[in-house]
């Protein structure tokens, strides 16, 4: 794939994604929900979750593993716990269904959670948690995936890249949004590095033979490592437990066993938690939090998580997209085949 | 302080801690609760939270900053949210009061949380989360403290060492317990290294002048760094938000401002969350989880968080304790003065 790019408006990105998904059998609701997550990723400059994902979404539809016409079902287990069966569809439509009752319950009782089952999650996590923070809530979510990551000290993969996202609401401002793989790098980033042929830092992962390497393509064939040694590895374990057995779903290795011989993103679980700072604290802490971030932002070298995306978001103009990728997606729409 | 040790039974450790606290004005309930956390830390080989902490507990009582006769007050904000005013006492008695209603609510509704205010937390976090897992629940808790940690990329401290603990219940087995500072090392460990004169890894912290150093005593005067670079730093920020404004309490820097000119551990907040896997998953996941841990434990080099403490716990015999420390505590009990 070359480095040539073309400019597309956000509307063009949305239409390209949506029409491609519709042409592959996704219904209106699912295609719109997926196209939206792809578009907001491109809007925010998060290209590894933008149009780059559309061929993968389509592979899942073509293999019939993912149901493009799924309608999620929600069960209210207690007034604050919802179990949501994604019915083997992609995650975005499930989120559109389950976030409103989750938000309502958390605003009423202070906490609420959703256990998502049978979902194919193939996007970033920040869209879910930002939605909760737009409603004044803390959002926390985790997913696991296929076993690509070895625990610290080991060479055998057992964890997914196991991302977690956390969002803190700020009145009249963008929320503070952490969205990070507990692996040293997200697999999407390693895949982009492999595609574009640049090196990754030593410590990112091991080759197929268990050696440290800076070659992203070797790591895609081998194993990723957690970030931050044994502490990061402990967090990967926590995410594995929260996204699997807590929500009645599979560990990463079980996801792989269930998934074998199929193509496209695997089916698994997701944990989503909403917390109301207003109810827990018993007060409005906006001014206090603003003072903290003034001090934080004044520290040279400190990054505010999510700020780079929010900065990109201010630009309403066209986005620069890989030209070969656009051509691939356009062909999919016409020919219906993955090339 | 020398490296000489003496052997004390767990009963002797408990009595030494409790009588020392009683001699300094703590009442029966508070002295017993603190002595218990100190004793279970020695039992589990977690010496930086064992008798080593007693002089610090007593400094707080002597400065009158900490109320040794405090009776915590609990308010039920919603059926699943409790706000607990520790009334400027040490945390252990507060936990004895607030964990039972928290556990009951989580077992009924699936989730529950406690916002602790005005608490002096000077212990490890695993006692709280293990208690929740003994009741079949996931425990999650965070505290912040004084600003000793700079964000990744910066040199100015703004975070506490900001530990978080997570515990996963296992039927008929010890829970899996993560208890980790989001700093590269807990300040208690750095203090022990400084006391005993051994080096810490490069990257643990910066000296007073902002340089990397392996000298623990230099770091005690300077600043700690988060573990795991920008990702660990993001988690330190998350813990700062959960332990401060979420629970109606102070950021680490505000804790310091409020605390200045006083001696002993500072007053602050704590967030505690309980989650029921039975309710969220809708099933019993013990066998599934046991199979996962069989695979995990079989990976050479992988550590199960908490396992070392649980192994130490099997030994019911006497513990080897620093002799000078025991002498100091005995003197405190007799003379009432910190030497």
CA A157 from chain center: how many Å?
Answer: 20
Asked if pLDDT for residue A240 goes beyond 80, the answer is: yes
Tell me the per-residue pLDDT of B132-189, one tens digit each, with 9 for 90 and over. 999 999 999 999 989 999 999 999 999 999 999 999 999 999 999 999 999 999 877 8
**Which residue, among A48, A10, A58, A21, has the nearest Cα to A124 in the 3D structure?**
A48
Instruction: State whether B281 and A78 contact (CB < 8 Å).
Output: no
Beta bridge partner(s), residue B76: B82
Tens of pLDDT, residues A175-204: 999 999 999 998 778 888 998 888 999 889
Q: Are B71 and B85 in contact (CB under 8 A)?
A: no
Dump pLDDT digits (tens) for B226-271: 999 999 999 999 999 999 999 999 999 999 999 876 778 899 999 9
Q: Are B25 and B69 in contact (CB under 8 A)?
A: yes
Whether A189 is catalytic: yes
Active-site residue, from A29, A42, A128, A189: A189
pLDDT recorded at residue B339: 44
Using a CB-CB cut-off of 8 Å, the residues of chain B touching A177 are none
Cβ-based contacts of B296 with chain A (< 8 Å): 151, 158, 237
Residue B93 is predicted with a pLDDT of 98
- Give the pLDDT confidence of A267-320 residue by residue, as tens digits: 999 999 999 999 999 999 999 999 999 999 999 999 999 999 999 999 999 999
pLDDT for res A338:
52
Q: Which residue of B has its CA nearest to A181?
A: B231
* Residue A268 DSSP one-character state: E
Q: Band of the pLDDT at A9, cuts 50, 70, 90?
A: very high
* Residue B261: per-residue pLDDT: 63
Residues with Cβ < 8 Å from A200, sequence gap 6 or more? A185, A190, A193, A214, A215, A216, A219
CA A86 vs CA A98, A249, A294: distances in Å: 10, 12, 41
Tally of residues, chain B: 339
Give the rounded percent of residues in chain B with a pLDDT score beyond 70.
98
CA–CA distance, B322 with B18 (Å, rounded to integer): 18
- For residue B229, which of A87, A14, A201 has the smallest C-alpha distance? A201
For residue B185, the chain A residue with the least C-alpha distance is A231
How many Cβ pairs within 8 Å bridge chains A and B? 227
d(CA A142, CA A243): 6
Which residues are bridge partners to A179 per DSSP? A165
Of these residues, A29, A49, A130, A184, which one is catalytic? A49
Mark which residues 224-253 of A lie under 8 Å from B by CB.
227-235, 237-238, 240-242, 244-249, 251, 253
Nearest to A77 among B80, B138, B279 (CB): B279
Q: Which of A24, A13, A3 is nearest to A332 (CA)?
A: A24
Task: Pick the closest to residue B227 from B212, B251, B205 (CA basis).
Answer: B205
Amino acid B82: pLDDT: 98
pLDDT per residue as tens digits for the range B49-79: 999 999 999 999 999 999 999 999 999 999 9
Q: Which of A67-71, A151-155, B133-137 is the least confident region?
A: A151-155
Q: Give which of A76, A79, A145, A126 is closest to A107, Cα–Cα.
A: A79
- What is the pLDDT at residue A55? 94
Minimal Cβ distance to B77: which of A110, A176, A299: A110
- B268-298 pLDDT, tens digit each: 999 999 999 999 999 999 999 999 999 999 9
pLDDT of residue B304: 95
Residue A302 with chain B: CB contacts under 8 Å: 151-154, 158, 233
Nearest to A78 among B110, B178, B299 (CB): B110
Question: Which among B308, B286, B331 is positioned nearest to B136, based on CA atoms?
Answer: B286
Measured CA to CA, the distance from residue B185 to residue B98 in angstroms comes to 29
The DSSP 8-state label assigned to residue A31 in this structure reads H
What integer is the mean pLDDT of B96-123?
A: 97
Residue A62: φ, ψ to 5°: -65, -35
Domains for chain B: give ranges and CATH numbers: 76-183+225-315 (3.30.1370.60)
| Minimal C-alpha gap between A178 and chain B (Å) | 7
Residue B311 touches chain A, beta carbons under 8 Å? no
- What confidence tier does A339 reach under pLDDT thresholds 50, 70, 90? very low
Secondary structure of chain B as H, E, C letters = CCCCEEEECHHHHHHHHHHHHHHCCCCHHHHHHHHHHHHHHHHCCCHHHCHHHHHHHHHHHHCCCCCCCCCCEEEEEECCEEEEECCCCEHHHHHHHHHHHHHHHHHHHCEEEEEEEEEECCCCCHHHHHHHHHCCCEEEEEECCCCCECCCCCCCCCECCCEEEEEECCCCCCCEEEEEECECCCHHHHHHHHHHCCCCCCCCEECCCCCECCCHHHHHHCEECECCHHHHHHHHHHHHHHHCHHHCCCCHHHHHHHHCCCCCCCCEEEEEEEECHHHHHCCCCHHHHHHHHHHHHCCCCCCCCCHHHHHHHCCCCCEEEEHHHHHHHHHHHHHCCCC
Known active-site residue B120: no
Share of chain A above pLDDT 90, in %: 88
Provide the 10 A C-beta neighbour count for residue A81. 23
Strands (DSSP E) contained in A149-267 are 163-168, 176-181, 205-206, 223-224
pLDDT of A192 reads: 84
Res B336: pLDDT:
63
Question: Three-state DSSP class for A177?
Answer: strand
Is the ipTM, as predicted for this complex, more than 0.90? yes
Contact residues, chain A, for B282 at CB < 8 Å: 77, 83, 115, 248
Surface-to-core class of residue A4, CB atoms within 10 Å of its CB (0-12 exposed, 13-18 middle, 19+ buried): exposed
Determine the pLDDT at residue A261: 63
Contact yes or no for B136/B169 (Cβ under 8 A) = yes
Determine whether B48 is an active site residue: yes
């Amino acid at each position: 794939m070359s480095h040539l790019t073309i400019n597309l408006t956000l509307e063009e990105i949305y239409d390209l994604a949506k029409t491609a998904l519709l042409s592959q059998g996704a219904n209106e609701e699912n295609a719109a929900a997926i196209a939206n997550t792809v578009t907001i990723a491109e809007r925010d400059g998060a290209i590894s979750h933008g149009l780059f994902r559309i061929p993968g979404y389509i592979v899942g539809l073509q293999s019939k593993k993912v149901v493009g016409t799924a309608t999620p079902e929600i069960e209210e287990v207690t007034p604050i716990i919802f179990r949501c069966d994604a019915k083997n569809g992609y995650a975005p439509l499930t989120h559109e269904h389950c976030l409103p009752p989750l938000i309502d319950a958390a605003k009423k009782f202070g906490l609420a959670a959703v256990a998502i089952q049978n979902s194919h999650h193939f996007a970033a996590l920040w869209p879910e948690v930002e939605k909760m923070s737009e409603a004044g809530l803390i959002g926390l979510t985790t997913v696991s995936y296929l076993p690509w990551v070895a625990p610290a000290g080991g060479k055998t993969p057992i964890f997914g890249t196991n991302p977690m996202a956390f969002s803190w609401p700020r009145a009249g401002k963008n929320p503070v949004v952490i969205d990070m793989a507990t692996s040293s790098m997200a697999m999407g980033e390693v895949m982009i590095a492999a595609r574009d042929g640049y090196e990754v830092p030593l410590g990112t992962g091991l080759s197929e033979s268990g050696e440290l390497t800076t070659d992203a393509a070797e790591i895609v064939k081998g194993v990723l490592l957690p970030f931050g040694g044994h502490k990061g590895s402990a967090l990967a374990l926590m995410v594995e437990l929260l996204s699997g057995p807590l929500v009645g779903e599979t560990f990463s290795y079980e996801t792989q066993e269930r998934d074998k011989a199929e193509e496209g993103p695997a089916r698994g679980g997701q944990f989503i938690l909403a917390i109301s700072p207003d109810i827990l604290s018993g007060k409005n802490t906006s001014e206090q939090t603003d003072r903290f971030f003034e001090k934080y932002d004044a520290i040279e070298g400190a990054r505010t998580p999510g700020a780079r995306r929010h900065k990109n978001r201010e630009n309403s103009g066209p986005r620069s997209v890989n030209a070969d990728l656009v051509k691939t997606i356009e062909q999919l729409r016409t020919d219906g085949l993955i090339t």
